[in-house]
Amino acid sequence: MRNIGRPSLKTVLKASTVAGLAAVMLSSGIPAQVVQSFAAPVSVTAPQAPSFADVVSAVSPAVVSVRVQSDTQVASDDSSNFSFNFGGRGFDQLPDDHPLKRFFREFGGQMPGGPGDRDQDRAERGGPRGPDSNRPHRLRPTAQGSGFFISEDGYLVTNNHVVSDGSAYTVVMNDGTELEAKLVGKDSRTDLAVLKVDASSRKFTYVSFADDSKVRVGDWVVAVGNPFGLGGTVTAGIVSARGRDIGSGPYDDYIQVDAAVNRGNSGGPTFNLSGEVVGINTAIFSPSGGNVGIAFAIPASVAKDVVDDLIKDGKVERGWLGVQIQPVNQDIAESLGLKEASGALVVAPQEGSPGQKAGIKEGDVITAVNGQPIKDARDLAKRVAAFGPNTKVDVELWRDGKAQTIPVTLGNLASDEAAAAEPKQPDAPAPSSEKALADLGITVAPAEDGSGLSVTEVDPDSEAAARGLKSGEKIVSVNNRKVESAADIGKVIEEARKDGRTRALFQVEGSGNSRFIALPIDQG
C-alpha cells in the first residue's frame, strides 16, 4: 500500500481559501476526486443579523428628551392609567448602600418603582430638599419622557401623560441643546400631545409616520428614547402582536413590541427599518417596573389623525353616539337569531344622547355604520369617533329578528366633561335574574320598584350562575321584551323555542349597571 503524505496542520491553517487548501492537498499527492469532494461548497447560508446603525444615525437627531415642570410645590403622587406594574420591590425600599441605588444616585437618574411613580415618566419629586428647603417657591422638575419632531418648524409629539401635569416644558436635543417648548394640545383618550419649539433660527430634523397597515407581526423595530433620564438610548426587537386592547379606553388598538421600553421612553418613537414611525411608546407590562419585553405603542395611523387635529385646532373633536355597548358573543348571537357573533349590543342609550333621540333602544345590535360592518364594540367606538360632530350617519341595527336602518346625527365628544360622561364598555357579560324558572336554575319575585323581576336565588350549578347571574339582581327583559312575572318569562322562552332558538337573551340590572347575558333554554 502506498503511503500518501498528508499536509501538516500548520500548512493547512496557512491556506486562506478553499482553493488554497485544495492546492496544498493536491501537492501532497491526494487524488483529485478526493480533493474535489472535500472542497465542495456548503449549500446552507447562515442568517445575517441586521445592523440598525444606519437607521439610528438618520433618526436620532429627530428624537428628544422632554422635561416637564409644574408650578405646584409637590407633584401629585398618582399613577398613570397606562401603568402595568403589578408589584415588585421599589428602589426606594432598597438599602442606601445597595449598588443599584448608588448607580441612580451617582448618575442623577430617578429611583424607579417608588410609590406613585407614573409609568415610564416620573422623574424627581418637588418636595423640600435638605438645607435650602425654605428657598422661594419655583417651578420644579416633575416628569420626564421622550418625543420626536414631525416637522422642520418645531412641532413634536409625545404622550399626554408625560405633559398633563406640567406648566413648562423643556426639550433636550440629542446634542444636548435645551429648548423651551409650548403645549399646542393634548388628547387624554389616545394619550397623545403636541409641543412646539421656536424655529425662527433653525430647521429641525424630523421623521414621518409609516403606513402601519403594512406592519407585520415579526417585523424588526427600533425604539429610541430617554429611559430613566439617560437620553439617546436605542433598543431593538420585533412586533409581537397587533390590535392589543389593554383596557385603557375605548380606542385601544396598540402595537405590542418586545424592544426594551422603560420609564422615560413614554412618548418616544418606534421605527421600522426605513426610519418611519410605526408607533409611539406609551405603556409597558411589568411585574418589576422595568422592561420584561412587553411594551405597547400607539399605531401611527391613530397618532397621525390626532396629531393633525391638535396642530390645527389644539383639540380633537369626535363624533358621539351616546350608547352603552358590549360585545356580541356566540351565545348572544344565537339568542337574537344573528348568523354570526359580530356587531355591538346596546345595553342602554344615554339619556338625551344622539342615539336615544334617533330611536336606538336597549337590546339593539348595531351591525354597520354608513354601510361599513361593525366587528365588535371597540370597532363601533372607533368608527363613530372618526366622524366629526354633527355628521349624519346611517346606523344599521338588528332588532326583533329584523335588520333596519336609522339615521343619526352625531353629537360632540370633544370636552373632558363629555369624556367623563362617555359610556364605558363592560368587561364581561354580567348578571341577570328574576322569578322562578327551574330549567334556568333561578327563582324570581316582583321587584320592589314595580319594574322587572328580582332574582331571589340562583342554583350554583346552573348555567345562570356560570354566566354570572346573582341573587339580588333584577331581570328587566328577555329577548328585548319587558317582563313583570315568571309567566312573562315563560311566554318569551316558549316563543323562542318555536323559532328554533336554543338561547334567550336576559337583560339584567345590578350595582348600577345594565348587562345582557344569554341563557340556554330547554328544548323539551
Q: Which residues are catalytic?
A: 161, 191, 266
Residue the block writes with cell 412618548: 267
CA distance 162 to 195: 11
Helices H / strands E in the chain, number of each = 13, 26
- How is residue 122 written as a grid cell? 416620573
Asked whether 441 and 403 are in contact (CB, 8 A), the reply is no
Residue the block writes with cell 346552573: 462
- Give burial (CB, 10 Å; 0-12/13-18/19+) of 355: buried
CA distance 346 to 425: 10
Asked whether 307 and 314 are in contact (CB, 8 A), the reply is no
Q: How far from 241 is each of 217, 249, 263, 449, CA to CA, in Å?
A: 6, 18, 21, 48
The per-residue DSSP string of 462-503 comes to SHHHHTT--TT-EEEEETTEE-SSHHHHHHHHHHHHHTT-SE
Residues β-bridged to residue 179: 171
Residues β-bridged to residue 423: none
Q: Are strands 372-373 and 269-271 parallel, antiparallel or unpaired?
A: unpaired
The per-residue DSSP string of 306-329 comes to HHHHHHHHSS---EE--EEEEE--
